[in-house]
Structure formats: C-alpha cells, structure tokens
Amino acid sequence: MEKNFYITTTLPYVNAAPHIGFALEIVQADIIARYERMKGSNVIFNTGTDEHGVKIYRKALEEKKDPQVYVDENAKKFDELKQALNLSYTRFIRTTDPHHITAAQEFWKRCEASGDIEKKIYRVKYCVGCELEKTDSELQDGKCPIHPNLELEEIKEENYFFKFSTYEKKLLEWYENHPNFVLPDFRFNEIKQFVKNGLADFSISRLKEKMPWGVPVPGDDTQVMYVWFDALVNYVSTLGWPEDEKTFEKFWGRRDNPNAVQVAGKDNLRQQSAMWQAMLMSAGLPPSKQIIIHGFIISGGQKMAKSLGNVVDPFEIVKKYGTDALRFWIAHEMNTFEDGDFTEEKFVESYNANLANGIGNLTSRIMKMAISNDISVSLPSESDGYRKAVEILSDLEEFSIKTTIQKVWNEIRETDRYIQETEPFRVIKIDEKKGKKIMEELVLTLWNISFILEPFLPDTALIIRKMIQERIVPQPMFVRK
Ligand SMILES: [Zn+2]
C-alpha cells in the first residue's frame, strides 16, 4: 500500500540570515524525506519562514523598511538554502501567505468555539529572543539563560490567552499512549515532567496599536495574533487546511493514525510537543505523530555569537567545501540528538579522512581499474538498488542518522580493505579471469554503495552512478584540503 509521509521543520524567523543550526535541522529532515522516497513513500516535506512578530517588526523599523518588503528580502535567503544544501522540500510556506492567514484565523475560531480562548490581563517578564514568557524560576541572575545579553521586558496589557492549563491531563494521556511521540527519550521525559508540573495559560495576542505586524484576531480589530496561533498553524495550513480535507487527512493523519513528523531544536521542545499539541486538540484536529528534537551546534566549544566572531555561515562552508561536505559533517559528525561542536580544523580533518580519502579515493580506484581493464558489468536496476539500500538504512526509521551513516562508511572502509587484501590490479596480470571477476564485484559494490549514500550525499551518489553507467574516467570528487 502506498504510504503518505509528511515531515516538517520548524519555521525560522526571517530576522537574520539562515543559521548553521537551521541547516542542521533541515538537512536532518531532508535525509529522512529522501529515505522515505527511496522506500516509495509519497512525501510532503515542508519548511518556510515565520514572518510576523515583534522581533521582525522592530528589525524592519530599524532598517527603515516596510515589514513586508523586509520579510520578502529575507525569505529569499532561506529559499536559497535549497540549492546550497541540495534540499528536496516540496513546500515552502511563508506565514504572510494569504492562505496561511485565513487558516490561522479559522484555527483560532475553532479553539474559541471550544471555549479555550479568553481575555485576561497579561503581565509578565518576556524574552524577545525566545519569544517566550519567562517565570522567575527560569531566569538566571534575572536574565534569560539563553539570551543573557537581552533585557527582559515587563508587559502588562489586556489580551487573549489560550487555556493551556486545561490540557494537562489530555497531553499526559496522549504521551502515555504514544510511547515514541518525542525522540530522543530524555527529551520526552523532560516534556512529560514539564506538563506534570502544571501548565500556565499562555498569551496569544497583542495590542495592535503596539505591534501591528501580525494576523488580525477574528472579531477583534484591536488585537493581532501573537506567534503561536500564527506560526505553529503553518504545519497544517501548508497542507491546504481547512479547505483541502483530503490532503490534510492523507498527510496529517487521523487521531487514531497520526502521520505528521516534526523536526525541531531542543529550544522548541515545549512549543512543538506540548503547546502545539494542545492547540490541535482544542481545534479538534489530530495531534502530530512524532516530534524529533535535535541539539545545538556550538562553535569551538562556545555558543555562537557575533561578538565572539565564531558564527558559522552555512553558505560559506558550502562555497569552500561543497554541499555534500556540509551534509556529511551534519550527518556523520553531529550526534543526532545532542549538541555538537564545529571547528573548521575538525571539519577539514573529517573531510580529508572520509570524503577525499574515503569515498572519493575508493570511487577513483575502482573506476580507474574498471576502465583501464575494460570491465563491463550488467548493472541491477535502480529500483533494485533502492530496495536493497532501504534495508541497510532502516535505522533511519528511528531517526538514527549518525548510526546509519556510520554503517555506510563501514561499507566504504570494508571495500577499501577488500581491494588491499585481494589486489585485483596485481591478480589480473597473473590470472585475468580471476582479476576481472574481483573488479566486476567491486564495480557492483560501488554501485550499491551509491544507493546507501544517496539520502546523505545525493549529488555524490548520482555522480558515482553516472560514472559507472557511462564509464567516465573519474575526476577527484573531494579534493584534499
Ligand atoms: Zn531568551
């Protein structure tokens, strides 16, 4: 039976250029989406940009631009990641899209009809960096621990709240009945504990006169939506919800068969696996199937900061080393669910060992041997290649990206070792038939490796297959740095 697979990243704010941390998230999602396509699944892969809110509004004012002009310019930079990282997403949603705006309003109306939206006085300390309200127990020295350089804001106004507190039991029940709802386990435990500790209603609108850059609240033109009912609803509006019920059910799933996989950073655990899920329940929609939480990339042992001069720009890395080199680093050098440290020195070390000397050298050795000895192999079909590959890659079902790519590199190393042990280039001079047989075997192995490589290094995989099919003398694929 045909499987419909839906995966989405979070939507980054367009108030800064794409960050390496987002590159990590979207490459992880891309690997899974490509693997699902190899299995024959019908895939919708969503990403996009979150374009409303106070940070963006202020930034646009600062640059003396109309907010729409400002977000148009910045959204383009995020779409450019598609080429830079060779991403295979099929939807790019912008929260300023007219359809998204009407969907967000419809979502609001449904939650209001469930009695979960009410007006109250809102008075809170607020971190503009996180776009989150902070309770005193979450602060360190009176500051947000993630944004120690930002002053917390004190806010007091009348606005709308979502009755998050009424969803404590329902969320815990959902978690209980869906034991793989959040990956990894330690993050799942963290969110369970958070919900058990009791939920506070959260503010979902702002006074329009103070912050006009948002989706108008239905039935109250003095207020605009604040972040959550706007940004999070993209995951369903991108599927054509509410009008396109068929696509929605196929990809988002049903309550008894949820289907949506969401990838998010550890700073988004609460938003994605609790707040958004409660909102879905309130709107009468099925919760997500699974929330995958990744760690952060730090740089040279420290959190990236402009002031430290250690910010890693994904576009620069790609320019210098190539798309697949960055994809490789993300898959192979990052612990899939934990923080990882980027230094250019270690990046180059791994590049030389695994790409220049690893797959690059292996391909070149085998292809040179095959061409100079006129080896011709009858190649299995591509669908055969994919069928075999998905078995080897099946750990990707659990999102174990690092473990899976390590298997691929074991295969590459094994093949290298096999060449060293069998020395076909020597054997062929003594026993032509035997030598040719080993070489044929090696070409077939390289052919198979190209398929297991494909979700991680899609370009490299295609280049290898083209070389084999068209018997092209190999150019070095990854030049030593
Ligand atoms: Zn913060």
- Mean pLDDT throughout 111-129? 92
- Residue 132 binned pLDDT confidence (cut-offs 50, 70, 90): confident
CA–centroid distance, 190 to ligand 1, in Å, is: 19
Is the model's pLDDT at 300 over the cut of 70?
Answer: yes
Q: What DSSP element (H or E) covers 262?
A: strand 260-265
Alpha carbon of 37 to ligand 1 centroid (Å): 37
Please tell me the distance between residue 147's alpha carbon and the centre of ligand 1 in angstroms.
Answer: 4
Q: Quick check: 135 pLDDT over 90?
A: no
Average pLDDT of the chain, as a whole number = 95
Ion ligand 1, residues whose Cβ is below 5 A away: 127, 129-130, 144, 146-147
Residue that terminates a domain, selected from 295, 326, 355: 295
Ligand 1 mean position to 16 CA, how many Å?
16
Which of 83-87, 269-273, 298-302 has the lowest average pLDDT?
A: 298-302
Rounded distance from Cα 144 to ligand 1 centre (Å): 5
Residue (of 98, 111, 99, 42) closest to 285 by Cα position: 111
Distance between CA atoms of 10 and 46, rounded to whole angstroms? 9
Domain assignment present for residue 227? The answer is yes
Query: For the segment 417-447, what is each residue's pLDDT rounded down to a tens digit?
Result: 999 999 999 999 999 999 999 999 999 999 9
- For the chain, the domain total comes to 2
d(CA 145, CA 232): 24
pLDDT at 131 over 80: no
**Distance, CA 126 to ligand 1 centroid (Å)?**
8
Q: Which domain holds residue 120?
A: 4-295
Q: How far is the CA of 99 from the centre of ligand 1 (A)?
A: 30
- Do residues 427 and 362 both lie within one domain? yes
Cα of 56 from ligand 1 centre, angstroms: 16
Q: Are residues 246 and 141 in the same domain?
A: yes
263 and 367 share one domain: no
pLDDT digits (tens, 9 = 90+) for 360-386: 999 999 999 999 999 999 999 999 999
User: Do β-strands 205-207 and 202-203 pair in parallel, antiparallel, or remain unpaired?
Assistant: unpaired
Q: What is the CATH number of the domain that holds 241?
A: 3.40.50.620
pLDDT of residue 328: 98
**Distance from the CA of 394 to the center of ligand 1, in angstroms?**
37
pTM of the model: 0.94
Last residue of a domain, one of 295, 330, 363: 295
CA dist., res. 229 & res. 218, Å (int): 12
> What are 6-36's pLDDT values in tens digits?
999 999 999 888 999 999 999 999 999 999 9
Q: Which helix (H) or strand (E) holds 432?
A: helix 432-453
Please check whether residues 67 and 178 belong to one and the same domain: yes
Residue 265 CA to ligand 1 center (angstroms) comes to 14
Are 119 and 248 in a shared domain?
Answer: yes
We report the CATH number of the domain holding residue 390 as 1.10.730.10
Q: Tell me, yes or no, whether 389 lies in a domain.
A: yes
Ligand 1 mean position to 128 CA, how many Å?
Answer: 6
Residue 50 in any domain: the answer is yes
**Secondary structure in 3-state letters for 34-85:** HHHHHCCCEEEEEEEEECCCHHHHHHHHHCCCCHHHHHHHHHHHHHHHHHHC
Give me ligand 1 centre to Cα 262, in Å.
22
CA 125 / ligand 1 centre spacing (Å): 11
Q: How far is the CA of 131 from the centre of ligand 1 (A)?
A: 7
User: How many Å lie between the centroid of ligand 1 and the Cα of residue 152?
Assistant: 8
Residue 113 domain flag: yes
